[in-house]
Structure 1
Amino acid sequence: MEEPIAFDMLSELATSLTEAGGEITSEPRFEAKIGRSYVDFLLDARFSEAPFKLVVEAKKSAFPRDVREAIWQLKRYIAGMPSGNARVLPLLMADSISPGARALLREEKIGYFDRSGSLYLSADNLFVLIEKPALKRQARSLNSLFVGSRAQALHGVWTFKDQWFGVHELAERASVSPTTASQVLIELERREWVDSKGAGPSKERMLANPRALLDEWSSYIASLKPKSLRLYYMRMANIDEAIHEIDRICDETGIRYEISGLMAGQIHAPHLSKISQIHYRIDHGGENLLLNLGAKAVKEGWNLGIIDSDPRHDFLFRQRVNHVWVTDPLQTYLDLLQLDSGRSKELAEHLRLTKLAVPE
């Protein structure tokens, strides 16, 4: 990390240490070396009159792979330090630290501090944990994988499951550019969500940590506002006849659609005894479909909810199940998490356990 940035963050670190009952008692010593080992800087601090020496490695951003390198660097440096009266506190300081990286640091009892003001320290007779919400720009950086064409590529990675695949295979399956596919895979390697083998154009990856991927994606989805729906009422004898009638009309008129929400969850992993509302994404021509169905816009008492669709990203991974088109299990799970609907979260958990095979 560049020195001006480190100086700026040091001021923020001092503030957080003060909030936690500590204080910095020396000027930082930058690029401290012991033999061939080095860290970015050393800093003296005090907690409840007890002296501590902070051994700090600084990064611009930190994901699990970066953290493993930093942990190795810190431990190697500390092993060579002469004994002294002050207890040693290793610390990783970064502009942003991913959830997976934080968990790894806590597991190794390595302290961390980031730009949000979050602070973790662990030593004999000292434990500090201050967790603060990510700043907007931190959130944009950490969550960029889950937006737009990158999310499309990430979805494509999921579909390979336990198969090895290359950049161009991913680009083709997810309908993204090879550049986007490559950028996403590099980010996944930093998060340690994929294994890799080979090098250069023949390099391949395989999804290695689906749980971590799903945890962070679902956490991001849960932070968003509920999906906005256009609400309609249509006459139907029963819900099964309705979805097959919609399929027939769409097939005859060439309109792409996919069932989502509770009905899609029920199709993939039956769990609820009754569903009275259907969620759909409908491509161009949806207004004609609604006219053919005699659907009327309503504010309450609806049984047909239309989710706004983006033809660039939607419909790509839909599946034909029971003679209708439905969102695949992953998209169904993510949609259920974002629906403001009675039992959607319950069905999402059931779907995760049964079809995604990733426990909470």
Structure 2
Amino acid sequence: MAPMDNVYISLLHDFTGSLQSATGFLAEHEELEVQFGELRRNARLDALVKTKTPDGGSCVLAIEMKRIAYPRDVRMAISHLMEYRATAPQDTRVELCFVADSISPGSRQALREAGINYYDQSGTLYFKYHTWLVDIERAPIRPARKKDFALFSGAREQVVHALLYHWYGNADEGDITGAELASLSHTSTYTVSSTMQALEQLDFVESKGSGPSQRRRLRDPAALVDAWAEEWTRRREVKTRWYTYAPSGHITDRVIEGFVSHARQEWALTGAAAANAIVPRLTQVDRVEVIVQPGEAEQLASAIGLTQADKGSNVVMIERTGASLLFLDEHPERPHSRFASRFIQYLDLLNGYGRNKELAEEFRKHALKIGSSK
């Protein structure tokens, strides 16, 4: 951390004030940016606070602080606090603490498992001392993201998709270079580099080496898919609804035939009709969702012979480009078909329509081979 400014000092005092209110621990003396260890002269602890306990004893709080605590920051803080404890005098009672504006649920769990107390600005306070335990859990304050940190949009989203696609096909040998990922995602090496740095900060990927030979590996695919899904379900897209006659059970084939005959640009089946063809769980699919290029929906509908229908529609066209049209696949039983990648199909199942949620759970497990995040 840079030399401590007033924001961090205020955060520190919020923590000690909340601790005093909850436990009676009284801060008597504080030191900032405390150097420790003989072998690592540059090792510094953000703060060391000497407290008086309610029973008249004393306790030293060793504290690491962050404004926004990304998972990687929390892991590093845990390691740093453990290093400090190893150098502390044997006769001193030291409690390790992590303080931030916001700490995610996963990071809170990691801190608990490491035996480290924590506090954030939501009012959350976890503090264990001898037989005393304070455990106040509140929802984390969602930190505001910078506008340029749009991880799941544009070219960066293509990099995320390519990284997951590479992992899916190479789970045992998942390392990939920036140049390989740029080629796979159809983006620049600069875009890959900036996206990978953001993903590494969020603890989704890990890297080894440096320079052009640096390789990265997806550390937690489930967590990355969850983060992508969280952003995906907030989107507002251009969708148009249409109707076509098709014999019962043949709507998917009818739509594929129409698009194969008339679409001149990229398109892809997605959602329940596509996913159910891979992991059959629904006895009947009553509508087909198709990704089309922006501005193409009306022309395609006219060519295929679809009728616009706000109610009773059985074809939905979703206007998209970029990541949604990467890694298209042909279904073996439907010649010339174009199915969106399995990751896009899964994300589109999260729209809450009909039994899509049920299908999404099965599809994630059996088609993506992904369980819950770590």
CA contact (8 A) 2:270 2:291 kept: yes
Residue number among 342, 349, 353 corresponding to 1:336 in the alignment: 349
Question: What is the CA distance between 1:27 and its match in structure 2?
Answer: 5.1
Partner of 2:268: 258
2:44 is matched with 38
Deviation at 1:327, TM superposition (A): 1.4
Equivalent residue letter for 2:246: M
Question: How far apart in 2 are the matches of 1:187 and 1:98?
Answer: 17
Structure 1 position 342, deviation (Å): 1.6
- Alpha-carbon shift at residue 144 of structure 1 (Å): 4.0
* Alpha-carbon distance in structure 1 between the residues aligned to 2:69 and 2:143: 17
**C-alpha separation in 1, matches of 2:366 and 2:208:** 30
1:292 maps to a residue whose letter is A
| 3-state SS of paired residue (1:128) | strand
C-alpha distance in structure 2 between counterparts of 1:317 and 1:134, whole Å: 36
Secondary structure of the 2:141 match is: coil
Secondary structure class of the residue paired with 1:235: coil
C-alpha contact (below 8 Å) 1:24/1:43 kept by paired residues: no
Quote the residue 1:308 is aligned against.
319
Residue by residue, what CA displacement relative to the aligned partner does 1:209-256 show, whole Å, maximum 9, x if unpaired?
A: 22232233334445x268674322222233133222233233xx4132
1:234 matched to 2:240? The reply is no
Q: CA deviation at 1:348?
A: 0.8
| Separation in structure 2 between the aligned mates of residue 217 and residue 325 of structure 1, nearest angstrom | 23
Given that residues 255 and 286 in structure 1 are in contact (C-alpha distance below 8 angstroms), is that contact kept between their aligned partners in structure 2?
A: no
Say whether residues 1:155 and 2:161 are aligned partners.
Answer: yes
**Cα distance in 2, alignment partners of residues 6 and 186 from structure 1:** 25
Shift, 1:263, TM fit: 0.9
Seen in structure 2, the aligned counterparts of structure 1 residues 188 and 136 have a Cα distance that, compared at 3 Å, is closer
Q: Report which stretch shifted further, 264-273 or 238-247.
A: 238-247
TM normalised by structure 1 equals: 0.85
Q: Distance in 1 between matches of 2:191 and 2:106?
A: 23
Query: Which whole-Å CA distance do the structure 2 matches of 1:298 and 1:24 have between them?
Result: 68
Check 1:225–1:31 CA distance in 2 against 1; reply closer, same or farther (3 A cut).
same
Contact 1:100–1:191, Cα closer than 8 Å, also in 2: no
* Aligned CA distance change for structure 1 residues 24 and 348 (closer, same or farther; 3 Å): farther
Q: Gaps (5+ residues) in structure 1? A: none
* CA contact 2:105–2:140 (8 Å) conserved in 1: no
Q: Contact conserved, 2:159 with 2:182, CA < 8 A, in 1?
A: yes
- Which is worse superposed, 44-53 or 295-304? 44-53
1:55 alignment counterpart: 62
Relative to 1, partners in 2 of residues 1:247 and 1:296: Cα closer, same or farther, differing over 3 Å? closer
Correspondence for 1:71 among 59, 72, 78: 78
C-alpha contact 2:36 2:84 (8 A) present in aligned 1? yes
Query: Which of residues 174, 184, 195 is equivalent to 2:185?
Result: 174
What is the Cα deviation at residue 97 of structure 1? 4.0
Contact 1:23-1:46 within 8 A present in 2 as well: yes
Pick closer, same or farther for the CA change 1:315–1:77 going to 2, 3 Å: same
- Distance in 1, Cα, partners of 2:191 & 2:107: 24
Q: CA RMSD in A?
A: 3.0
Match status 1:188 vs 2:199: yes
Match in the other structure for 1:10? 12
Choose which of 322, 339, 343 in structure 2 pairs with 1:326: 339
Secondary structure of 1:306's aligned partner: strand
Alignment-derived partner of residue 165 in structure 1 = 176
Alpha-carbon separation, structure 2, partners of 1:24 and 1:225 = 48
Counterpart selection for 1:317 from 327, 336, 342: 327
TM-aligned CA deviation for residue 99 of structure 1: 4.9
Deviations along 1:154-200, whole A, 9 cap, x unmatched?
11111111332111111121122211211222233334433433321
Q: Which moved more, 1:109-118 or 1:270-279?
A: 109-118
**2:368 alignment partner in structure 1:** 356
Where does residue 289 of structure 1 map in the other structure? Answer: 300
Give secondary structure in 2 for the equivalent of 1:281: strand
TM-score, structure 2 length as denominator? 0.82
Matched, 1:277 2:283: no
Structure 1 contact 13–113 (Cα < 8 Å) conserved:
yes
Number of aligned positions between the proteins: 353
CA distance in 2, matches of 1:17, 1:298: 60
The one-letter code of the counterpart of 1:276 is: D
**2:152 paired residue number:** 146
Q: Deviations over 1:62-108 (max 9, x none)?
A: 333332322122122223333568x5331222344455433322221
SS at match of 1:232: strand
Q: Is the 8 A contact 1:21 1:48 kept in 2?
A: yes
- Deviations 1:100-146 (CA, angstroms, capped at 9, x unpaired): 433322221222334444443344421424232433505x6998433
- Verify the 8 A CA contact 2:326 2:340 in the aligned structure 1: no
Cα distance change, pair 22–170 in 1 and its aligned pair in 2 (3 A): farther
The answer on whether the counterparts of 2:271 and 2:348 sit within 8 Å (CA) in structure 1 is yes
Q: Could you say if the C-alpha distance between residues 81 and 303 of structure 1 is closer, same or farther in structure 2, counting changes exceeding 3 Å?
A: same
